[in-house]
Structure 1
């Protein structure tokens, strides 16, 4: 998105307030919406009255494991606290909203289930899937070869990462050598952390200094660090970087990369416990909403059209294994 020329209203959520700091003024927006310069209006309200809904598909729903059908709910887990548009809190600072939750609802609707959306820290999401407490983990999860040992995946979005720096920082990241000696913020346990670790190893072999990796859990923390110059850039999901940079005008995207590395286009996927019988109907549900157009509407609602997939794939090649 190009830089927004509209002002941004402060909202109740402290996290969203960080993302929506004031820019040049021309006309006001309502408290619960933010309009980007490309015309996308983001609904930040807890009501989400414009949520895209679909009807149950009996043929697909019949393939859901009986225990889940009897329960009548799809129990989803994910992390909340990142910037729009993936998963964040609405203006009531309580209700999880975003593109990931909307995708979750499309799947639940198609399977004839109510969505029971829960939140947890990143590592705890895996624990809750391992224990069987939750059915699906939908929260910008990248397919990796190591994760495929324990989990099944059904893809629904391309995985693109971005380096975000202060506006007019004067540098770009085209490859690993450009981060040598820089201080880069990441989320712990993410694939972007692993990519930086790999780049540091390759740079060390070439006699280049390592990038210093700084870890952050909350958007408010890493944007404060970025604004104060305590880090040179933040390496995170491309959708959030584009949203923040275009909305505030305080930062810019200085490089984008596949989440799976140089040799493979990474993909974001629904994660389930391996061989529990759920990933098949989930993949069919995703392909159904791709075909009927509702998937495209959800991506357009959140400005993510460029990360669309043409079909969902079960357990595709993922981020390569780390060296033992």
Structure 2
């Protein structure tokens, strides 16, 4: 999970390279960050442990959809990925408190269901290990619906899934398809849908007689950004929310291409994920639809700058990212 200390370390490293100017403002007293070009207007992002989260009331009819064992327990065990970054799921300025849009949405769902959310930060692959073993009742961690995952898991959607290519400001190129990344050095996180898309694009380039993509992998978010600023990579392909957050707060990069996380021809969806036939997905979808309707969902997305990724309603197991063709 990205901590405030990690973010500050990365910014210090950018400064040491002579590549960072003060393009974001922060207030230590209020633990807020705001892009400098907002000049006091717009939505400041609260990075402190006192989140004052948007909350909602229990709805008995929706809570009744929970399996009896979960209702009696009174808690939801939820996994979040330690590989996430602002504004998805990360640590507050105290380096202990988990915050982010994913936790806020999960909290609204738990409120509606009348249970307490208990968040467990784990590595990406252990999100699914936790679901398989029954350790987690669900995962709220930027998980994209895919056809392959639907064989083992049930999904209730809550955000659009968009990916972004982030490059050094003034790079002078745009990405609209596979040809634009032929021969380019692109970083991506292992085991993600964006990796699958990039690998597929690289294969398309080779079949068309173009150079493949030079795909790079690093250990953490800070390493990606340092490699980008030092010129070791041409771009980083990751979730649009984290890219947009980094562009606004650091000010030295730009989005050079934005795509659906499900690939061409299908809008990707981010979803609450639970073990298949666990009996939880209907409760999650009903709770999500309730908070969409009562406006608290929109409030959460707005406070994290993600209003453009809102969905009009939660869908259960919609069409997902197709299987990768060999």
Give CA-to-partner distance per residue, 1:25-59, whole Å, 9 cap, x none. 797633511013441100001121x2000001100
Return the alpha-carbon distance in structure 2 between the equivalents of residues 146 and 27 of structure 1: 42
Aligned to 2:27, the other structure's residue is in SS state: coil
Q: Which residue of 1 aligns with 2:6?
A: 14
Distance verdict in 2 for CA 1:26–1:237, change over 3 Å:
closer
Shift of residue 19 of structure 1?
6.0
**Correspondent of 2:116 among 103, 114, 117:** 114
Aligned to 2:209, the other structure's residue is in SS state: coil
Return the alpha-carbon distance in structure 1 between the equivalents of residues 208 and 287 of structure 2: 47
Q: Which residue of 2 aligns with 1:30?
A: 28
Q: Which residue of 2 aligns with 1:141?
A: 143
- Tell me which stretches of 4 or more aligned residues in structure 1 moved more than 2 Å: 15-31, 80-83
Q: Which residue of 2 aligns with 1:83?
A: 85
1:208 correspondence with 2:210: yes
- What is the TM-score with the length of structure 2 in the denominator? 0.92
Q: Which residue of 2 aligns with 1:47?
A: 50
1:190 correspondence with 2:192: yes
Task: Provide structure 2 residue ranges, at least 5 long, that are not aligned to the other structure.
Answer: 15-19
Equivalences, count:
313
Shift of residue 83 of structure 1?
2.8
**Correspondent of 2:240 among 238, 241, 250:** 238
Task: Provide structure 1 residue ranges, at least 5 long, that are not aligned to the other structure.
Answer: 1-10
Distance verdict in 2 for CA 1:83–1:18, change over 3 Å:
farther
Q: Which residue of 2 aligns with 1:310?
A: 312
Give CA-to-partner distance per residue, 1:115-160, whole Å, 9 cap, x none. 1000111011100000001110111000000000000000000000
Give CA-to-partner distance per residue, 1:62-121, whole Å, 9 cap, x none. 110111111110110011343311111111112111000101101110100101000111
Return the alpha-carbon distance in structure 2 between the equivalents of residues 288 and 129 of structure 1: 25
Mapping of 1:119-138 within 5 angstroms?
Answer: 119-138=121-140
RMSD over aligned CA atoms reads 1.7
Shift of residue 17 of structure 1?
4.9
- What is the TM-score with the length of structure 1 in the denominator? 0.93
Aligned to 2:66, the other structure's residue is in SS state: coil
Aligned to 2:118, the other structure's residue is in SS state: strand
Return the alpha-carbon distance in structure 2 between the equivalents of residues 25 and 303 of structure 1: 17
Return the alpha-carbon distance in structure 2 between the equivalents of residues 193 and 231 of structure 1: 15
Mapping of 1:168-183 within 5 angstroms?
Answer: 168-183=170-185
Q: Which residue of 1 aligns with 2:99?
A: 97
Shift of residue 23 of structure 1?
3.6
Residues 185 and 214, structure 1, Cα contact 8 Å, conserved in 2 = yes
Residues 299 and 305, structure 1, Cα contact 8 Å, conserved in 2 = yes
Residues 183 and 231, structure 1, Cα contact 8 Å, conserved in 2 = yes
Return the alpha-carbon distance in structure 1 between the equivalents of residues 189 and 46 of structure 2: 26
Residues 172 and 255, structure 1, Cα contact 8 Å, conserved in 2 = yes
Residues 82 and 218, structure 1, Cα contact 8 Å, conserved in 2 = no
Mapping of 1:288-299 within 5 angstroms?
Answer: 288-299=290-301
Residues 184 and 232, structure 1, Cα contact 8 Å, conserved in 2 = yes
Distance verdict in 2 for CA 1:277–1:57, change over 3 Å:
same
Distance verdict in 2 for CA 1:323–1:316, change over 3 Å:
same
Residues 24 and 34, structure 2, Cα contact 8 Å, conserved in 1 = no
Return the alpha-carbon distance in structure 2 between the equivalents of residues 263 and 214 of structure 1: 26
Q: Which residue of 1 aligns with 2:17?
A: none
Deviates more, 1:153-162 or 1:216-225: 216-225
